[in-house]
Amino acid sequence: MKAFCNGPARAALFSGVLGLTACGARTGLEAGPPLPPPPECVVDADCPTFGDLCNPVKCVPLPLDGDAGTSPKGGTCQDQPKIDCNDNDPCTTDTCAPDTGACSYQIATLDLDGDGYRGPIPGTIAGTPGSCGDDCDDSNAAAHPGGKEICDGVDNDCNGIIDDNATFVPVSGEVVVSSPGLQPASPGGLAWSGKVYASMYSGKSSGDRVFMSILNPGGDKVNPPGEAPFTFVNADSFAGPTVWVGDRFGVIWQDRRNNNNYQTFFSLLGEDGAKKLADTQLSFDEDNVVGAVNPAMAWNGTEFLVAWQLAPTGVYDLFATRVGVDGKSKTAPIALTASGDGLGNESPSLAAGKDGVGVTWFVGDALSKSISFQIFSTDLTTPVIPPILLTDGSTNSVYPTVVWNKDRYVVAWADWSAKPRAIYAMAIGPDGTILVPKIAITKPGPFHSRWPNLKPLGDRLLVLYSDDRDDQNAGYEIYSRMIDNQLLPIGSEQRITNAPGDSLHPIASFGPDGNIGVLFRDDRLGQQDVWFTRLACVAGGPPPP
Amino acid sequence: MRNRIFLLVLGISLPVSLVGVAGAGCGSVSIETNPDEVDGGGGDAKHDVHTSVTTGGPDGSGPEDALPDYVDPGCPDSGPPITQYMCDPFNQKNGDCMPGEGCFIFVQYPQEPCGQEIYGAGCAPVGPGGQGDPCMGFQDCGGGFVCVVSGSGNQCIQLCPLTGKDGCAPGLSCEPIDVEGFGGCL
């Protein structure tokens, strides 16, 4: 009956054939033997899925009546073999068009940077079987198989190593980025497009706002657009990370324009400094604490991965979503953690790795502070491994960050009460195996190292951090050092800033000619401003045999 | 992103009369889309996207940019923040507050998209919390401290001025709070 109750035309048809209405209430007053059920269909078009040529259906006549040798009018709907568009090629997205039944096969990977080489499927390593792409960095046309390795902060030849054997040294000439009148200003994100840096930061202007400056390789503002507001609401907005993906910057931040709570927002920014997308809200739940804060972002080759902390049940948990290159969310927010033990999950950082996404975060409360790490599926929906506690809560380990470095995740954090009060790190394999246990990677002596930032180089990592060991120069200064994949130091530590006062929160980005741009906060002028400096790449010798 | 610290508003019990009324909304701000409402996808912006195409790079001769610009309609500038200071948070013992009370900063978030925040300070009974102690609101912290969402547990931290000598203990820096003009030692 289901096919016939939907429209008056079909109801009329069968009332004529069988002498009664097909759809109507029956009562106990009706006389006579029960009538046989009407047939399901007369023609193919009576079948519910008719018209979907990918899933064809036929109205098959009912069998002949044995006594009369006649066939009742009508039949039953029977599914026919479905169109199988699977070409067994993992590198294509196979679809069937319902209106024609025709198969189409779209290449599953993209060439976003236009260098003629496609990036890998998310969660795979470029050039490996099943990756369907061999461009190790599809956001940069200077990186592709067969490229010539030069000192440019890029893995030009896709051998997994950036600027083979090079080191990085500070370049004199620090530049203040945020304008007078925006203090206190704080850095949020920095990314290099191949021609310019996009620097995102927070500044005071009738409340906190997100500002944007497009910078040249030396850190000077490019005019136009110069410095410009990026958010245009009166409620507080705070800048977050930015990522270049080949033809646009993805930008995230948090503001509380709505609903009495902070929420996480996303937009796109062009190299020209123009906003390319309306502010798009990614988080939606509210809480009674402060809302969705501390957003983090990574790029997996085809999607932005965004995470934040929120306390819908009163205790913080982490949530995440995936955002397409067009800025549209691919999914509703996904809960990454469940604070069943009453401890909060805060300050996420995430990195796209092999076969998954590594997420690290703070877990605990004001009295018990630990660092946790977990690997999720590439779509963030499924844990690949259970969470791993990297510290035991006996010390104040806080504000972790994670990167993927060729074949492993490297997690770094500051410990504010351990001995030494240093930056610590661990290396973890894509299956969750601890490759290098916790080790201090800075040496503050009796002082403090804080705010680590990692730049993966494949066979080594550059670590930037703040340290207050210079007792003669009040406050923190920014340092860097190279470590190998065993997290052991390579070469000497570099001091990047020397001005009195605090130099804090370094955010590094690969830049031109092997430079590494660094955005940081500094109060050398008496107030908190956002500054830019850079490290230069010094080409190394030939690779070891 | 470097972590920010935010005033924990849970438990604030300052009288509404102290904080006044948020600024009027304009009713025409950008854009939110809930993927739940659009079949798992993003959604349409409430505002039109301009269709002009930018063709020049930052120096006027750079790369062609195929993405259309979006002109953010924004909110009308509401001017300087509204402030209501009934006492001086940096001078807890100047007699502004009664014995047993402290002077605590607060923020009232806007209720409307273009609304304006209100910053201020008022007197309230002091709590026991000192630097780094857990808190659920200002009432858990002592005078001169503030309860913040720190990204490493909600905790009381010492108020500090964002310019000049901050008075923070060695190893701590004065981090801005989302209450204009105030920082906290972290």
Least confident of A448-462, B101-115, B135-149: B101-115
pLDDT of B33: 37
> pTM of this prediction?
0.77
ipTM (interface pTM): 0.76
Report chain A residues whose CB lies below 8 A from the CB of B133.
366
Report chain A residues whose CB lies below 8 A from the CB of B40.
330-332
Tell me which residue in B36, B75, B135 faces A233 most closely, judged by beta carbons: B75
pLDDT of B176: 94
Burial A35-67 (b: 16+ CB within 10 A, else e): eeebbbbbebebbeebebebbbbbbeeeeeeee
pLDDT of B58: 35
Write the CB contacts of B173 (distance below 8 Å, at least 6 apart in sequence): A475, A476, A502, A504, B166, B185, B186
pLDDT of B183: 96
pLDDT of B116: 82
Tell me which residue in A234, A277, A475 faces B116 most closely, judged by beta carbons: A234
Report chain A residues whose CB lies below 8 A from the CB of B33.
280-281, 328-329
3-state secondary structure of A3: coil
Which residue in chain A is spatially nearest to B39 when comparing CA positions? Answer: A331
CB contact under 8 A, B113 and A257: yes
Angle subtended at Cα B76 by Cα B75 and Cα B77, rounded to the nearest 5 degrees: 110
Nearest to B72 by CA among A268, A177, A255, A261: A268
CB contact under 8 A, A278 and B42: no
pLDDT of A498: 94
Higher-pLDDT residue of B122 and B109 is: B122
pLDDT of A390: 98
Q: How far apart are CA A22 and CA A40, in angstroms?
A: 11
Higher-pLDDT residue of A19 and B131 is: B131
Q: Quick check: B38 pLDDT over 50?
A: no
Q: Which residues of chain A have pLDDT under 70?
A: 1-36, 65-72, 259, 540-545
Chain A and chain B share a number of CB contacts under 8 A equal to: 247
Q: Quick check: B57 pLDDT over 50?
A: no
β-pair type (A449-456, A460-467): antiparallel
CA distances from A109 to A264, A287, A300, A306, A377 (A): 28, 38, 12, 21, 18
pLDDT of B150: 95
pLDDT of A32: 63
Write the CB contacts of A19 (distance below 8 Å, at least 6 apart in sequence): none
Q: Cis omega before residue A225 (within 30°)?
A: yes
CB contact under 8 A, B2 and A398: no
Residue A23's region, left for phi above 0, alpha for psi from -120 to 50, else beta, is beta
Q: In what order do the strands lie in the sheet with A237-244?
A: A237-244, A249-258, A261-269, A280-281
Give the minimum alpha-carbon distance from A156 to chain B in angstroms, rounded to a whole number.
21
Q: How far apart are CA A91 and CA A129, in angstroms?
A: 10
CB contact under 8 A, A186 and B176: yes
